[in-house]
Structures are given as C-alpha cells and as structure tokens.
Amino acid sequence: MTSVVVSSLWHKDVLLKVVLFVLRLFRDRLPTKDNMLRRGVIDQASRLCMSGCGSLESSNHLFLHCNFFGSVWHFIRRWLSLSVAAPFQVPDHFNQFNFSGGTTKVHRSILQVIWFAAIWEIWKERNNMLFNVKECSVN
C-alpha cells in the first residue's frame, strides 16, 4: 500500500468522524463485504457489491472501480477539469487527487475537502442501499 502522510488527513474543515473513517479505509478496516466474508459475518452469497455490478465488494472496488459508485470520480474530475489516471488503491487515489490541482496549499486544501466529502457520501449511499433499501443516483 502506498503511504499517505498522516498529517495530510487532518483538515480543519473535515469532521473528525470522517477523518477517522478514512484512516480505517486506508487500513482496510471498513465493514465492506469482503472483510465481513473473511471474518465469517456473511456468507458467499452476500459478498457482491450493492450496486449490482457483480463484483466482490472491497474498499478499492467500492470507492474507485465500481461502475456505479466509482463513477462519481468521473463527474468530479469533469467538474474540476482534472485529467488523471485512475489508481488501483484508495491511498494512491488520495495522494494523486490532492496534488492534481497544483502544489499551492489552497488548491490542495480544497481538493482534500472534496475528496473527503465524496468518499463519505459514497459510503453513506452504499449503506442507504444496504440497510434502508433506498435507491440512489450518482448524479
């Protein structure tokens, strides 16, 4: 796993619960279906992504590569006029996204807040689909 400078995670405009959530994400400690399957909490039949894409729900899949949830980044990059390659792992994505807008502290700060907000919303929508049987739209 690519290392992330921990001090870059602490942002005055990001809620502490979101920062702690991201720390758990970077350590692969979220209750994604692949983690729950490994711990024996769910069975093989329940291991697939909530979006219905047919893939195993891992952190990297859910937040980056899922055709449904991962497509959020396409819209964000288009909105910000960013052109970047899609990294395979979430920490790599965090590093790349934060430095894709330049090296000024203000630009990095804005991109960090956007990144944290997107990650948090993806997780909340995934949980809405799982626990509240609610449909969501990427738009």
Q: How many residues does the chain have?
A: 139
CA distance linking residue 31 with residue 136, whole number of Å: 20
Which of 79, 77, 98 shows the shortest CA–CA distance to 14? 98
Confidence of residue 79 (pLDDT cuts 50, 70, 90): very high
Q: Residue 5 has what pLDDT?
A: 61
Residue found by looking up tokens 């979430």 in the block: 90
H or E element in which residue 124 lies = helix 105-131
CA distance linking residue 22 with residue 27, whole number of Å: 9
Strand partners, 56: 48
Helix ranges (H only) for 56-104 are 59-60, 72-80, 90-99
Q: Residue 7 has what pLDDT?
A: 63
CA distance linking residue 29 with residue 82, whole number of Å: 30
CA distance linking residue 96 with residue 49, whole number of Å: 25
**Residues 119-139: tens digit of each pLDDT:** 999 999 999 988 887 887 776
**Residues 3-54: tens digit of each pLDDT:** 666 666 778 889 999 999 999 999 999 999 999 999 999 998 899 998 888 8
CA distance linking residue 71 with residue 97, whole number of Å: 15
Cβ–Cβ contacts within 10 Å for residue 100, how many? Answer: 15
Residue 48 has phi, psi (to 5 degrees) of -85, 155
Q: Residue 105 has what pLDDT?
A: 82
CA distance linking residue 24 with residue 28, whole number of Å: 6
Confidence of residue 1 (pLDDT cuts 50, 70, 90): very low
**Residues 97-111: tens digit of each pLDDT:** 887 766 678 888 889
